[in-house]
């Protein structure tokens, strides 16, 4: 059973960690709803991109965008990255690849990408993913809502010492040995700031 069904549920779980009354709707237009709504989507993206969450792992055959060229990587073709991909993991045939904005370059002829996909629906998240999101959200909104630096320090300590390590352990289950590890947040923020499709 999911820990939360809606984004408002996630916001209210974060508020509960702050000792604040729940809200009825993220679109209420009042505080703290405005602050929570502004920071929720970036928090979801950040937490989901951190690890290979089993429930977010997907596979896709990539669509060719540009055939191989004669540059320093001869015969490397350019493929479209799946729309909701926020963390490429590996090509199933083991070929190396690298990223260029919304594209993936590889010498594979029919690449199948294993990746982490963005999912904004809490009803499909594991309990651990939902907990990681609402805890990260609570840390981000703590000062603007409570002005309590002591509470913020306690939340940060719990998130870094307990929630993140537990999330890492869960996400590691079933992980493959071949990993592609760019600077995830740099790539994500650049991609979705400059025409990304999420």
Structural domain includes residue 40: yes
Residue numbers of the domain that contains 104: 56-119+177-193
Same domain? 115 vs 127: no
Same domain? 105 vs 11: no
pLDDT of 195 above 50: no
- Total domains present in the chain: 2
pLDDT of 12 above 90: yes
Same domain? 12 vs 104: no
- The whole-chain average pLDDT of the chain stands at 86
Same domain? 37 vs 111: no
Q: What is the DSSP string of 1-20?
A: --S-SSHHHHHHHHHHHTT-
Same domain? 60 vs 101: yes
* Alpha carbon of residue 148 to chain centroid: 28
Structural domain includes residue 160: yes
Same domain? 109 vs 181: yes
Same domain? 94 vs 27: no
Same domain? 150 vs 131: yes
The pLDDT, as a whole number, for residue 39 is 97
Structural domain includes residue 25: yes
Over the stretch 152-171, which tens digit does the pLDDT of each residue have? 999 999 999 988 888 878 77
Same domain? 181 vs 96: yes
pLDDT of 183 above 60: no
Structural domain includes residue 45: yes
Structural domain includes residue 2: no
Same domain? 147 vs 80: no
Same domain? 68 vs 20: no
Same domain? 47 vs 65: no
Structural domain includes residue 1: no
pTM of the model: 0.83
Structural domain includes residue 20: yes
Distance CA 37, CA 20 (A): 16
pLDDT bucket at 73, cuts 50 / 70 / 90: low
Closest CA to 54 of 134, 124, 112: 124
The residue ranking higher by pLDDT, 88 or 187, is 88
Structural domain includes residue 198: no
The pLDDT, as a whole number, for residue 187 is 61
Closest CA to 76 of 101, 103, 113, 114: 103
Residues 13-27 have a mean pLDDT of 96
């Amino acid at each position: 059973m999911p820990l939360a069904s809606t984004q408002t549920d996630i916001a209210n779980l974060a508020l509960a960690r702050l000792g604040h009354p729940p809200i009825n709707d993220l679109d209420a237009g009042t505080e703290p709803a405005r602050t929570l709504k502004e920071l929720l989507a970036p928090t979801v993206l950040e937490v989901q991109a951190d690890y290979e969450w089993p429930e977010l792992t997907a596979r896709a055959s990539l669509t060719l965008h540009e055939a191989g060229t004669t540059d320093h990587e001869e015969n490397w073709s350019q493929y479209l990255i799946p729309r909701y991909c926020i963390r490429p993991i590996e090509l199933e045939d083991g070929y190396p690849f690298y990223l260029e904005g919304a594209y993936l370059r590889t010498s594979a002829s029919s690449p199948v990408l294993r990746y982490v996909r963005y999912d904004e629906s809490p009803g499909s998240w594991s309990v651990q993913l939902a907990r990681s999101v609402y805890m990260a959200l609570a840390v981000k909104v703590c000062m603007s809502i409570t002005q309590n630096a002591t509470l913020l320090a306690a939340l940060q300590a719990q998130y870094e010492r307990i929630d993140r390590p537990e999330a890492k352990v869960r996400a590691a289950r079933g992980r493959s040995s071949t990993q592609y590890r760019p600077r995830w947040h740099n790539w994500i923020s650049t991609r979705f700031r400059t025409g990304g499709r999420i």
